[in-house]
Amino acid sequence: MNALKDPPVKPVRGRGPTFITRFLESRHLGWAGLAAGLVAPFVIATPYAMNVMTSAVIFVMLAVGLNIVVGYCGLLDLGYAAFFAVGAYTSGVLSTELKLPLLATVPLVIVATVIAGIVIGGPTLRLRSDYLAIVTLGFGEIIRIVANNLDITGGPSGIYGIPGLLGDATSEPVVFYYAVLLIVAVAVLLAARLGRSRLGRAWRFVREDEDAAEAMGVHTYKVKLAAYIAGAVWGGLAGVLFAAQLSAISPASFTFLQSALMAVVLGGMGSTPGVVLGAIVISLLPEVLRGLADYRFFVFGVLLIIMMIVRPQGLWPHRSRER
């Protein structure tokens, strides 16, 4: 009878979510981030800052693409750089051989990356995740070595003299930065939208429990292939932007080490805002800590282990909207 005064379980007294927490978890975080990106050149616009920011934005695109494969669908693709390479080289070779501006090569890049996704995904997606990881790594190496050995890809020297996105006007650093920011913002939005769609839900189902998904009527193979192809297209387009930025590409840029895996794991697999933030951090860190370059990969390795043991959902995990 005195339930109100003497409840059986002591009520927890705590503070509600703070402003910071609400801010970090709000859906407006993304828009705030975009606003920051748009306004940043007004604060600092030296060629160096523009270069670093553009690189960071391109890396964000790469990370978001990898997130579709690893984060949404749970496929550990260690050879993701292969798609990055396919995109960069396709646009590079076409634009230098046929003297086209890079934007004109995009349709062919999409075709090439879809084919690459099917060729690589085809045999490997039937395999268990451990095998998948190593085989995709093997594929990544194959693509890199092929690019290194063939003459059409320029051999070890690679391709140089790659034109800008739309002729010389877009080579101006600030203009290029805004163009890239816009393209990547759209790509990130699309990826997030894809994650919330029915296909995205199927991906998450496959990631959680593939056999249950299969039993519930989800065509796991097709779903996985769709994730792979989507990831391939995103990676390939990031490659086009990369080629535009550097104007010269060589096999050295597409090794296993250039993987965005660190960014995805740090930010939170499957969480788009997390991955974006993780990518920005991972991209800016080497520039900020230029003196500690030699320790970078060691720290990455240790961090991966720690993250997986202590906080596998990442620093900014996906906040499920389905209650």
Partner 1 sequence: MKKALLGVTAAAIALSTSACGQGLLGGDSKKDKGPILLGMDIPLSGSSADIGPDMKNGAQMAIDEINAKGGVLGRKLQLRAEDDACDPKTAVAAANKLVAAGVAASVGGYCSGATLPTLPVFDRAKIPMIIPAANSTELVAQKLRHVFLVNGTGDQQAAAAMAWVTKGGAKKVALIHDNTSYSKDIAVRTAAELDKPGGPDKATLDAVNPGESDYSANVTNVLKSSPDFIYWTGYYQEGGLLLRQLRQAGYKGKFMVADGSVDAKLVKIAGDKATDGTFATMTQTPDTIQGAENWISGYKQKFDADPGPYSTQSYDAVRVAAEAIKDAGGTDGDKVVKALEGINGFQIFSGPLKFTPQHTLTNGGFVILVVKNGKFVLQDALK
Partner 2 sequence: MSQLIWNGLFVGSFYALVALGYSMVYGVIKLLNFAHGDLYMLGAFSGFAMLGAMGGLIKSSSLVALFVVLILTMIATGLSGVVIERVAYRPLRGAPRLSVLITAVGASFALEYGTRIVAGPNPKVYPVRLDGTSLNVLGARVTLQQIALMAVSVVLMVALNLLITRTREGRAMRAIALDPKTCLLMGIDVDRVIARTFFIGSALAGAAGVMAGGYYGKIDFLMGFIIGLKAFTAAVIGGIGNIPGTMLGGLVLGLLESFGTHWVGGEWRDVFAFGFLILFLTVRPTGLLGERVTERV
Stretch that binds partner 1, among 7-15, 48-56, 118-126, 315-323 (CB under 8 A): 48-56
Residue 312 backbone phi and psi in degrees, to 5: -65, -15
70 part of the interface to partner 2, by CB under 8 A:
yes
Q: Which distant-in-sequence residues (6+ apart) come within 8 Å of 66 by Cβ?
A: 77, 80, 231, 235, 259, 260, 261, 263, 264, 275
For residue 141, the tally of other CB atoms under 10 A from its CB is 17
- Which CB, 40 or 100, lies closer to partner 1? 40
304 part of the interface to partner 2, by CB under 8 A:
yes
- Which CB, 266 or 277, lies closer to partner 2? 266
Residue pair 198/177 in contact by the 8 Å Cβ criterion: no
- Residues of span 6-35 touching partner 2 by CB under 8 A: none
- Residues 255-284, one symbol each (x = binds partner 2 by CB under 8 A, - = not), give -x----x---x---x---------------
CA atoms within 13 A on the CB side of 127: 16
Which one of 43, 298, 320, 321 is in contact with partner 2 (CB under 8 A)? 298
Q: How far is the CB of 304 from partner 2 (least distance, A)?
A: 3
Q: Which distant-in-sequence residues (6+ apart) come within 8 Å of 84 by Cβ?
A: 62, 235, 236, 238, 239, 242, 254, 258
- Residues of span 210-249 touching partner 2 by CB under 8 A: 210-211
Residue pair 191/272 in contact by the 8 Å Cβ criterion: yes
The CA distance from 99 to 190, in Å, is: 30
74 part of the interface to partner 2, by CB under 8 A:
yes
- Which CB, 31 or 131, lies closer to partner 1? 31
Q: Tell me which residue of 253, 240, 222, 219 sits closest to 166, measured CA to CA.
A: 240
The residue count of the chain comes to 323
Which one of 32, 190, 293, 308 is in contact with partner 2 (CB under 8 A)? 308
Residue pair 254/85 in contact by the 8 Å Cβ criterion: yes
The CA distance from 266 to 303, in Å, is: 8
- Which CB, 225 or 248, lies closer to partner 1? 248
Q: Tell me which residue of 69, 70, 67, 65 sits closest to 87, measured CA to CA.
A: 65
Tokens 């501006």 -> residue: 101
- Residues of span 119-158 touching partner 2 by CB under 8 A: 123-124, 127-131, 133-135, 137-139, 141-142, 145-146, 148-149
Which one of 24, 104, 134, 248 is in contact with partner 1 (CB under 8 A)? 248
Question: Which of partner 1, partner 2, none interacts with 133 (beta carbon under 5 to 8 A by kind)?
Answer: partner 2
287 part of the interface to partner 1, by CB under 8 A:
yes
Alpha helix locations (H) across 125-172?
A: 129-149
Residue pair 164/101 in contact by the 8 Å Cβ criterion: yes
The CA distance from 196 to 271, in Å, is: 11
- Which CB, 6 or 294, lies closer to partner 1? 294
- Which residues make up the interface to partner 1 (CB under 8 A)? 26, 28, 31-32, 35-36, 39-52, 55, 148-149, 155-158, 160-161, 171, 174, 245-250, 252-253, 286-287, 290, 293-294
- Which residues make up the interface to partner 2 (CB under 8 A)? 70, 74, 76, 78, 123-124, 127-131, 133-135, 137-139, 141-142, 145-146, 148-149, 207, 210-211, 256, 261, 265, 269, 294-298, 300-305, 307-309, 312
